[in-house]
Amino acid sequence: MNYENKVMCKECGGKCCLNCGCTYMVSDFRVLNKEVVHNLLNTQRVSISSSQFLMESIIKGYKFHYIFQLRARNIDRGEIDLFSFTNTCASLTSNGCYFDLKHRPGCGVHLIPDKDDCYVDYDSNEELFKWFNYQNMLKEVIYERTGMTSDEVIKEDIIKAYYDILNDNYECLSKANAEDMMSMLCYLKDIYPECLDEAYKRGRKK
């Protein structure tokens, strides 16, 4: 399998990388503990991020779920980036990826270049759920880096996302990503109504 085609990627301009940094696979690490995560965050090339999804309950309506994972950091995003508008990967350079293939996040390594449409050779849900065993550890790192619980950080991120929408601060988003984010936030206003209220309050104080 040809996991890298620099000529093709250069011609493309890194459309995938312009959209968002790629995610690490658990299998990228021989050992994955708090020390390893802290060291990665200290490089300023990596963030703790999350994948969000909604699960519907007939009784309770929608509930917001998230799985924490490690991802190549995006431009203008912090080391803890749990819920935000996606942005260009900070490791995209004029010569391609900052990371060589050996050190590149696994989901980027396994993104196969193709002139028609790049594709992955792994099951994305299967890889995502491998992070389940590391959720408590990542929550501890989040608290150690921010002094906030993961729930508190997510709520603050949601407030920021609402605030950006109210002030049209989302030029970095592609049309498809903007639509996805808007759809997610429409559901979240019922789950976290206080976040939308707080975003309005901050807007009035400006």
| Two tokens, residue 192 | 């976290």
Per-residue pLDDT tens for 46-77?
A: 999 998 765 554 445 556 678 999 999 999 89
The answer to whether residues 23 and 49 touch, using CB atoms and an 8 Å cutoff, is yes
Q: What is the pLDDT at residue 89? A: 92
Q: What is the pLDDT at residue 59? A: 47
Task: Give the separation between CA 10 and CA 100, rounded to whole angstroms.
Answer: 15
The answer to whether residues 37 and 135 touch, using CB atoms and an 8 Å cutoff, is no
Q: What is the pLDDT at residue 150? A: 94
Q: What is the pLDDT at residue 38? A: 98
Q: What is the pLDDT at residue 173? A: 56
How far lies 47's CA from each of 23, 29, 42, 95, 163, in Å?
9, 16, 10, 22, 22
Stretches where the chain sits below pLDDT 70 are 1-3, 53-64, 169-181, 205-206
Q: What is the pLDDT at residue 137? A: 98
Per-residue pLDDT tens for 114-126?
A: 777 787 888 888 9
Q: What is the pLDDT at residue 169? A: 67
Task: Give the separation between CA 52 and CA 184, rounded to whole angstroms.
Answer: 9
